[in-house]
Amino acid sequence: MSLKTRAILVLVIGTVMGLSLSFGGGFLAQQRPAEEGLAWDKARLFAEVVERVKQDYLEPVDDSALLEAAIRGMVSDLDPHSQYLDADEYRDIRIGTTGSYTGIGIEITELDGAVRIITPIAGSPAARSGLRSGDQVIAVDGTAVEANNLQEVIGSMRGKAGSKISITVARNDDAIVYEMRREVIRVASVHHEVLNPSYGYVRVNQFSETTARELSRAIDELQDSKGGMLEGLVLDLRNNPGGVLDAAVDVSDLFLDSGVIVTAQGRTADSRFTRSAHRGDVLDGADIIVLVNKGSASASEIVAGALQDHGRAAVLGTDTFGKGLVQTVMPLSRGRAIKLTTSRYFTPSGDSIHKTGITPDVFVEDTPGFPDLSLTGTIDREKDAQLVAAVERLQHRQVMHSKAK
């Protein structure tokens, strides 16, 4: 065994054993001899693999590249949402939650061994090109993608603003190629319109640190345009892939006077928490319809579930995506980080929606092409079946949910 490989073995053993002692509260003291022996055996195996790769692989491989790849694989193998972030990826994450990033405006995930689109962001190159929620991404710029390397796929979609990119997706047994140019994607975006003299419409595209403030401001503008309080609101969360959990809590809190918004359970004290509403409803009890579909995920489901369980709104549309796990971004040295699944969240009624989603109170199938504000910049009051159904229910005051206490 080479000197470098011995060093790697020591590093791995230190990671497996020593770091667990430092951060795990006495891991070694609690570990049985058989388990300790297994950890050493796995560390030895890792070093043997590194040695073989370095010695026999077709091209020379840098030690640091091998170790980083091992770390990336270790974290990504935990679940589809956990990932190691190098400095550039970590920067993108921070930018994405606070303002903008450069890319095509698409949220993807690994699902059942395939890379699938959760949703294209409204107004983005992805949305304008025709990419849809549920499409399977099979190639980027002609290079086949692998579901077990999701972060690399995401990275390949990022690039300089104005540069060309092609995305190949599988849809209904057809392979379709979409070509577009990367742009600066504005993540935090709230669109609002007056539906009629009594009702307002607000669409939340994604949850970032500014979403609750933007939404509150949008509602104020709707109320000012009416000259008083709204009688009803359509809150459109369709094709909203989620984002910052605290933003979902703050948005829910805008419409609730009291009660639990979301709870979370994990292994550590920080990952177990309850978020509750504070007094003050910006609509003063006016009726709300929440629109959702299969592209509504994560933070969107927290809002829909909270308003539904408290009887504050009726949820209308189709079953949501079903992402009920919380990820925490943990900074590391030299600008790097890991995004690690740390909690499972529950709606106020105690339900976990992971892999099941939120079931709407009123099921109305998506109309092909809706919701999509990217082409016209406005809603369609006649052809969007879910929006039409929401307005009808507001007019007939059919909004309360059966779980209301």
In whole angstroms, give the CA distance from residue 346 to residue 321. 15
In whole angstroms, give the CA distance from residue 115 to residue 184. 23
For the beta carbon of residue 333, count every other beta carbon within 10 angstroms.
6
Q: Say yes or no: do domains 100-185 and 187-395 share a fold.
A: no
Q: Which of 129, 252, 323, 366 is catalytic?
A: 323
Which residues are registered as beta bridge partners of 91?
Answer: none
Where do the domains of the chain lie? 3-61, 100-185, 187-395
> 187-395 has which fold?
2-enoyl-CoA Hydratase; Chain A, domain 1 (3.90.226)
Q: Are 16 and 9 in contact (CB under 8 A)?
A: no
100 Cβ contact list (under 8 Å, min separation 6): 184, 185, 186, 187
Q: What is the dihedral of CA 173, 177, 183, 189, to 10 degrees?
A: -20
Report the Cα–Cα distance between both ends of the chain, in Å, rounded.
68
Q: What pLDDT, on the 0 to 100 scale, is given for residue 325? A: 95
Q: Which of 298, 300, 343, 374 is catalytic?
A: 298
Question: Could you list the pLDDT tens digit for every one of the 405 residues in the chain?
Answer: 555 555 555 555 454 444 343 334 444 445 566 666 777 888 888 888 888 998 999 999 888 888 888 999 999 999 989 999 998 888 877 776 766 778 999 888 888 889 999 878 778 999 999 999 889 999 999 999 988 888 789 889 988 899 999 999 999 999 999 999 999 887 656 889 999 878 999 999 889 888 999 999 999 999 998 888 899 999 999 999 998 999 999 999 999 999 999 999 999 999 999 999 999 999 999 999 999 999 999 999 999 999 999 999 999 999 999 999 999 999 999 999 999 999 999 999 999 999 999 999 999 998 876 666 544 456 788 889 999 999 999 998 766 554 544
DSSP annotation string for 160-227:
-TT-EEEEEEEETTEEEEEEEE-EEEE---EEEEE-SSSEEEEEE--B-TTHHHHHHHHHHHHHHHHT
Q: Are 218 and 251 in contact (CB under 8 A)?
A: no
Q: Which residue has the tokens 């073989």?
A: 52
**How many Å separate Cα 342 from the centre of its chain?**
14
Q: Are 372 and 122 in contact (CB under 8 A)?
A: yes
Active site residue 309: yes
Which pair of structure tokens corresponds to residue 20?
């667990």
333 Cβ contact list (under 8 Å, min separation 6): none
Q: What pLDDT, on the 0 to 100 scale, is given for residue 20? A: 41
Task: Note the CATH architecture for domain 100-185.
Answer: Roll (2.30)
* E runs forming strands in 254-331: 260-266, 273-276, 287-292, 314-317, 325-331
In whole angstroms, give the CA distance from residue 394 to residue 288. 8
Whether residue 125 has a cis bond before it, omega within 30° of 0: no
Which residues are registered as beta bridge partners of 235?
Answer: 202, 290
In whole angstroms, give the CA distance from residue 342 to residue 354. 14
Which pair of structure tokens corresponds to residue 380?
């369609």
Q: Which of 253, 309, 366, 372 is catalytic?
A: 309
